[in-house]
Amino acid sequence: MLAPCLPALVSCVLCAARRRALLVGSSHALAGLLALLTLTLTLAPAAFAADDLMPLAEVRPGLACRGLTVVRGTEISDFRADVVDVVSESFGGPAIIVRVAGGAAEPSGVAEGFSGSPILCPGSDGRERIAGALAATTGDKDNRLAVATPIEELLRVTPLPPIRQAPERAGPAGSTATGANASLAKRSSGGSSAPTPRSRPLRAPLVLSGVSRRLLARLARVAARHGLAVTAAASAPTSGPAASDLRPGSAIAAALVAGDVSAAAVGTLTYRDGNRVWAFGHPLGDLSGRGGGPGDGLSAGALGRRSLFLQGAYVFGIVDAPTTPLSAAYKLAAPTPGVLGSVTNDRSAGVAGLIGAPPASIPLEVGVRDLDTGRAVTLRAALADETPLDIEGGPAFGVALTLAAALDRAVGAEAPRTTDRLCISLVVRQLPLPLGGCGTFFDGGAVDVATLATTLVERFDREPLGLSAIRIRLRRRSGAPEAFIDSASGPRRARPGSTITVAVRVTVRRGGRRTLRFPLRLPRKLRPGTTVVRIRAVPADQQPRGAGSELENVLSALFSGQASAESELPAPRSPLELAFAVRSLLPVNGIAARIGKAGDRLVWRNDAMRLRGRAQFRLRIDAPRRR
């Protein structure tokens, strides 16, 4: 590896430049210095050379190999991985069967999170070479018999450049290896299939950090109903490895959400060539759970081109007797702060990415204040933006998760009845003003609406639309004042175009009776005679949902691949219609009136309490005065 020698190399380059400066002048020396530095820095990150890879043809039963992974902190440990057999193409794809023991494999055997662990086997010259990436177990009781994806199969997954805008709708990309590893990949006799159908892929459980145990329990309960595994750990206690420190065996994370709250799949880096990396040995699938079926886990299928955060990971330890929906032991881990690059390709043989270039992302800021206690919490995160790739659900999931975490930290309770004031600001590059607005919610609905608003923007595809920032503010107080309309009255007579005072008699829940008064302007074109003024509470009567059940409903809808109230979502055809659609999600509370045969219109806005019911009264319309 050249990274440890980097200072010495740079020193040599500087010495050579000084000598050359004496001969050819400073300008030529500077050009030479830049060229040499560029070459040096390009070569330095390479962890293994192409001749450090072992083609499948050289792998044979009985080879005493070893695997590399992290089981504590960020330090790489090894374990025995003796080759039992080499699986032929007839089993659905070439694979290496290994039996693990000792070292990092004790006492749990292969655990979730070992995905991508490089398997190093001795060549004919005795030197170790990477032969494959750990990808699955066979389902044996002790998790000792495992399956590895051959390294040439993994190298067929091409690290693609991070997306900056919507790509051309050409055919599938990234299925052909390029660069120094192309020759090795061509030796493979099969396609880029993952482990055999009889194996059990090592699922990449959705790892959350920045959430409490209480919130995790609710998330895990919902995810389990959809066959998904969710784990959580405290935030990583270290800044994590630098990009230059990533090497085969390092713990890494492919993250959907990164920041004060994170959501990621944790695995192991298999191979590195300069700034290009390969990992996992199996597909990631949809990290937000959308589109997966029960029992599919989070690796239900490769999604092709991706745009996820590449981060380091810190491992707290191995949970070898899980009580979660995971059926096998797993690594208790969390992504480390800082984005090291991008995960850009997700195929059946594994994933690939680039170190250095970050993916397109959406900054999110969520602020929650508990009006009962005055406690305020602000969380910031970045959301991986894969909407240009038609992979939906990530930003909406990130909004729901971060808002739920902020509510949990600020309020820390699930009151039976609540009043929320929600303000949403969705900044879109193509529009002069942000989308969104403010609305008051009684007994839940705020998290649902914030998620649906983000979903609306995600799904808008009539023209390019760049969501550049999301800002959410929520103020909550316990209790939901409520009043029931008993009757309404007004003056006996009025003229068209005049303004009358309407008195509404209400019964306040646990508060006695009150009279509410508001002005009502009559239409100018009312005909003389008796008309009926009908009033009703808006929005329409609805049953309280409760803040606790609301979050579970939202997450259940996201995990199942269908946003709650999705069938009722509008389908805007222009950015202007999109702006109205987002605004229409926010409730307007008050009273609407209908005079005669005219349609309803909001005549009085009241966010102090929820009104229910309707009433009416008769009004004599006199002829307008003659001028």
Same domain, 494 and 352: no
- Asked whether residue 208 falls in the same domain as residue 334, the answer is yes
Whether 364 and 434 share a structural domain: yes
Which regions of the chain are under pLDDT 50? 1-48, 90-91, 165-201, 289-300, 541-548, 563-565
Same domain, 400 and 507: no
In a domain, 22, yes or no: no
pLDDT number for residue 409: 93
Q: Say if residue 230 is in the same domain as residue 326.
A: yes
Confirm whether 5 is domain-assigned: no
- Segments forming the whole domain that contains residue 122: 48-161+200-359
Query: Does one domain contain both 439 and 345?
Result: no
Question: 248 phi and psi, to 5 degrees?
Answer: -50, 125
CA separation (Å) from 243 to 52, 236, 253, 276, 339?
21, 17, 13, 11, 9
301, 332, 359 - which closes a domain: 359
Say if 195 falls within a structural domain.
no
- State how far the Cα of 120 lies from the Cα of 130, in Å rounded to an integer: 4
Cα 124 to chain centroid, rounded: 45
Residues 377 and 526 both lie in one domain: no
- The predicted structure's pLDDT at residue 410: 94
Of 359, 387, 406, the position where a domain reaches its end is: 359
Q: Coil, strand or helix: which one is 215?
A: helix
Q: Are 299 and 325 in contact (CB under 8 A)?
A: no
Q: Domain check: are 472 and 454 in the same one?
A: yes
Amino acid 89: pLDDT: 66
Residues 346 and 376 in one domain: no
pTM of the model: 0.79
**Do 502 and 570 fall within a single domain?**
no
Of 359, 385, 406, which one is at a domain's C-terminal end? 359
Q: Are 259 and 236 in contact (CB under 8 A)?
A: no
In a shared domain, residues 505 and 569: no
121-169 tens-digit pLDDT: 999 888 999 999 998 888 787 889 999 999 999 999 999 999 874 433 3
Structurally, the chain folds into a number of domains equal to 3
